[in-house]
Amino acid sequence: QVQLVESGGGLVQAGGSLRLSCAASGRTFSSNDMGWFRQAPGKEREFVASISRSVGRTSYADSVKGRFTISRDNAKNTVYLQMNSLKPEDTAVYYCAAGTGWVGVDNSYNFRPVYWGQGTQVTVSS
């Protein structure tokens, strides 16, 4: 089991920045790939970013590429999501996830979530 607790959400104006944190406990943090997902009202949960457990390989949704950065600190059992140039359409509940990753035949990095945090609200005003 892995327990995940997100923090850092809040209200920010368009163009601003936020950094989300996700503290993990339970199974060895460094043995898990980690990811961030989000769910806006009335919409399905969608992938935002992921990072592999060792070499730090990352993957991003097209909608956040160039604006968001995922990172991890295995010594602190924490994964981060730095969000810059925020837009109103980034408004959602953001969820941290721990899971497994693999490299596809096309050399793409893929992530499958297994454990979820409770989520943190991010609201971007226009």
Q: What is the pLDDT of residues 53-91, one digit of tens each?
A: 987 799 999 999 999 999 999 999 999 999 999 999 999
Q: 107 pLDDT exceeds 90?
A: no
Candidates 17, 53, 18; CA nearest to 35 is 53
Q: Which pLDDT score is estimated for 122? A: 98
Query: For the residues 97-115, what does the mean pLDDT come to?
Result: 92
The single residue listed with the structure tokens 């509940």 is 93
Q: What integer pLDDT is reported at residue 38 of this predicted model?
A: 98
Between CA 95 and CA 49 the distance in angstroms is: 11
